[in-house]
Structure 1
Amino acid sequence: MRPTYLKHTAAAALAAFALAAAPAQATDIRVVSSGGFAQAYKDLSGPYERASGDHLIAEWGPSMGATKNAIPARLARGEPIDVVIMVGDALDKLMLEGRLEPGSKVVLANSPIACAVRHGAARPDIHTVDGLRAAFLQAQHVAYSDSASGEYIKHTLLDKLGIRGQMEGKAAQIPATPVGEIIAHGEADFGCQQRSELQPVKGIDIVGVLPQEVQLKTEFSAAVVRGSQHADAAHALLRFLAAPANAAAIEATGLEAANKMPNQPPTPAH
């Protein structure tokens, strides 16, 4: 289970005061985060608001894909967003397109892919490639996301496991809805997504992360949207999110923090 963020509140607040001061007048900062960093953002937003006096307005959307809430679609529509938090590769593409403020990118965390079953169901052993292959093949219905982890599973992992043909008709990419919710509702009996996206979902059991030989860790980064009316406040938020003092809070959500305190131990694999 994810430890309560209250254990990290003091460190998070201290990090806010240690960073360069935010503007004196309280500011509304509009943030859109993809699911992989969503829980970490939720846990850190309260301490930041209390320390800075700013008000964070959060919305959620995938880093890629064709849904209307996808971050690229939101920016293309000209939504008034100040900060985006998303998969690093997708953020880099938006930066090249001129939609984000040059030089504002900060790397926040790396996210391993994990797999889950419905709570109480038999837990397959996926610690080896053979075990992972067997888990896919033995499942009746497999779910994976329409974002970074799902694209990897769809286009690369099934081929690495040599089971693409055998998964036809029983493996599905799920748009918009978290994979964990699909499993919890019984619409799939096995599924994989970013560990940080599975961890908050009730009604499922995470059985482990993908074996190292076939694992893909996804970078999550943040940047200021070009043309933001609150660029100074947005930069202050990014400095806070990337502060090493907040690494423990980030790692409590299943991510691997990019910026750690000296001598902080590595995140254990679950």
Structure 2
Amino acid sequence: MFPRLPTLALGALLLASTPLLAAQPVTTLTVLSSGGIMGTIREVAPAYEKATGVKLDIAAAPSMGDTPQAIPNRLARNEPADVVLMVGSALDKLVASGQVVKDSRVDLGQSFIAMAVRQGAPKPDISNMDAFKQTLEKAQSVAYSDSASGVYLSRILFPRMQLDKSFMAKARMIPAEPVGAVVARGEAQLGFQQLSELKAVPGIDIIGLIPDQAQKMTLYSGAMVSKSQHPEAARTLLQYLASKDAAKAIEDSGLKPVPAQP
């Protein structure tokens, strides 16, 4: 193949005859992501930034709770943000309040609750409901999150299981920190959180999902913040995350991808 001399020559001529333009500022999207889908956005970020030229500034932010870092609390303080990735039921409240744009919402992945112990510790049996109950009652200490899975466990599942009276005294909710980190430090024998959140924590062994009869699916979704300064770029990112191209990253993070909408 012959070299494309005419094209190269034309390009050189244009460069020589055109004043240099000031570099255009790089678009930076602030993405607030809850832990359950953090693995997904971190996995896709490098390739996405390279392909689009859009920088992603990713901040960890729980979907709910009383901590200052929680997404609803950040938005209430008018912290700058463009995209939120969070539990779908919590996102619904932000849609209702007008803090995110309703028609930008995309459903991304389904998450399920798993149990973990400190790395190398004995692995209790949770293969069925009877074994699961015995494991909970025999545990020295139990930790769960202050987000969707922990609220479900503490308010619905554990009371429904009619655990012995001593159980609640040794079970505690963990705010503003991955439950797996507490387990890894040996501060809780058993830890419960979304599988996608536990997978990202070193120093623990994930025993597996809790039994189907006890399980609760949590949907993770995304949307554009109403006050986003970069609405077009925010929508493009959300459309990418909801496409088939991002499905592997969603699955790798421990979520079950929601089928891409036509």
Aligned pair in 2 of structure 1 residues 99, 164: CA closer, same or farther (>3 Å)?
A: farther
Give the equivalent residue in structure 2 for 1:183. 183
Report the Cα offset of residue 227 of structure 1. Answer: 2.1
Taking the aligned partners of 2:102 and 2:185, their CA distance within structure 1 comes to: 42
Give the equivalent residue in structure 2 for 1:152. 152
Taking the aligned partners of 2:58 and 2:26, their CA distance within structure 1 comes to: 16
Which digits, 9 at most, give the CA deviation of each residue in 1:130-181, with x for residues without a partner? 1211111111010000000000010011022211633121000011111000
> Which residue type is aligned with residue 56 of structure 2?
L
Give the equivalent residue in structure 2 for 1:111. 111
Identity %: 46
Report the Cα offset of residue 260 of structure 1. Answer: 5.8
Give the equivalent residue in structure 1 for 2:12. none
Give the equivalent residue in structure 1 for 2:161. 161
Q: Normalized against structure 2, the TM-score is what?
A: 0.88
TM superposition outliers: structure 1 runs of 4+ over 6 Å:
none
Taking the aligned partners of 1:53 and 1:25, their CA distance within structure 2 comes to: 10
The question of whether the paired residues in 2 share the 8 Å contact of 1:158 and 1:164 is answered with no
Map 1:129-148; keep pairs closer than 5 Å.
129-148=129-148
Taking the aligned partners of 2:160 and 2:245, their CA distance within structure 1 comes to: 38
Taking the aligned partners of 2:127 and 2:247, their CA distance within structure 1 comes to: 26
> Which residue type is aligned with residue 169 of structure 1?
A
Aligned-partner SS, 2:206? strand
> Which residue type is aligned with residue 103 of structure 2?
G
Aligned-partner SS, 2:115? strand
Taking the aligned partners of 1:208 and 1:133, their CA distance within structure 2 comes to: 15
Map 1:32-47; keep pairs closer than 5 Å.
32-47=32-47
> Which residue type is aligned with residue 80 of structure 2?
P
> Which residue type is aligned with residue 53 of structure 2?
G
Unmatched segments (≥5 aa) in structure 2: 1-23
Report the Cα offset of residue 249 of structure 1. Answer: 1.7
> Which residue type is aligned with residue 119 of structure 1?
Q
Unmatched segments (≥5 aa) in structure 1: 1-23, 262-270
Give the equivalent residue in structure 2 for 1:219. 219
Give the equivalent residue in structure 2 for 1:65. 65
Report the Cα offset of residue 127 of structure 1. Answer: 1.9
CA-based RMSD of the aligned residues comes to: 1.5
Give the equivalent residue in structure 1 for 2:17. none
Report the Cα offset of residue 46 of structure 1. Answer: 1.0
Greater Cα radius of gyration, structure 1 or 2: 2
Give the equivalent residue in structure 1 for 2:3. none
> Which residue type is aligned with residue 75 of structure 1?
L
